[in-house]
Amino acid sequence: MVHSFISIKKFADEPYSKILGYPKATTRQINSRIKELEKLKIKSISFTGPTTLGKLAILGKGYVGVVVLAKKGNKQVALKIRRTDSQRKNMKNESILLKLVNTIDVGPKIFDNSKNFLVMEYLEGEKISNWVNSLHGIGSTKKFKTVVKKILEDCYKLDNLGLDHGELSNVSKHVIVGKIKSTLIDFESSSTKRIPSNVTSITQAFFIGSGIAKKAQKIYKNPSKDKIIEALQRYKKEKTSENFEKLLKILKL
Nearest to 51 by CA among 65, 37, 40: 65
Question: Are 168 and 118 contained in the same domain?
Answer: no
Counting the structural domains of the chain, the total is: 2
Q: Tell me what pLDDT residue 12 has.
A: 94
Residues 37/72, Cβ–Cβ less than 8 Å: no
Instruction: Tell whether the model's pLDDT for residue 214 goes beyond 90.
Output: no
Give the CA distances from residue 92 to residues 7, 58, 112, 205, in Å, rounded to whole numbers and listed in that order.
Answer: 26, 23, 11, 29
Q: Tell me what pLDDT residue 81 has.
A: 98
| 210 vs 187: which has the higher pLDDT | 187
Average pLDDT, the chain: 94
Q: Tell me what pLDDT residue 181 has.
A: 87
Q: Tell me what pLDDT residue 136 has.
A: 83
Question: Are 142 and 176 contained in the same domain?
Answer: yes
Q: Tell me what pLDDT residue 191 has.
A: 95
Name, of 109-113, 124-128, 178-182, 223-227, the range with top average pLDDT.
109-113
Question: Are 17 and 133 contained in the same domain?
Answer: no
Percentage of residues of the chain with pLDDT beyond 90:
81
Mean pLDDT value across residues 41-46: 96
Instruction: Tell whether the model's pLDDT for residue 137 goes beyond 90.
Output: no
Per-residue burial over 34-51, b if 16 or more Cβ lie within 10 Å, else e, is bebbeebebbbbbbbbee
Mean pLDDT value across residues 71-95: 96
Q: Tell me what pLDDT residue 1 has.
A: 63
Last residue of a domain, one of 122, 146, 178: 122
For the stretch 143-175, pLDDT in tens is 999 999 999 999 999 999 999 999 998 888 899
Question: Are 113 and 150 contained in the same domain?
Answer: no
Q: How many CA atoms lie within 13 A of 186 on its CB side?
A: 22
Binned at pLDDT 50, 70 and 90, residue 217 comes out as: confident
Mean pLDDT value across residues 34-44: 97
Task: Tell if the pTM clears 0.95, that is, is over it.
Answer: no
Mean pLDDT value across residues 185-192: 93
| Domain assignment of residue 150, given as a range | 126-250
Mean pLDDT value across residues 43-48: 96
Q: Tell me what pLDDT residue 99 has.
A: 97
Question: Are 173 and 118 contained in the same domain?
Answer: no
Q: What are phi and psi of 205, to 5 degrees?
A: -65, -40
Question: Are 155 and 112 contained in the same domain?
Answer: no
Question: Are 85 and 42 contained in the same domain?
Answer: yes
Compute the Cα dihedral for 218, 219, 223, 228 and give only its sign.
negative
Binned at pLDDT 50, 70 and 90, residue 138 comes out as: confident
Question: Are 14 and 35 contained in the same domain?
Answer: yes
Q: Tell me what pLDDT residue 209 has.
A: 80
Asked if the structure places residue 103 within a domain, the reply is no
Question: Are 44 and 133 contained in the same domain?
Answer: no
Q: Where are the beta strands (DSSP E) in 27-64?
A: 42-46, 51-53, 56-58, 60-61
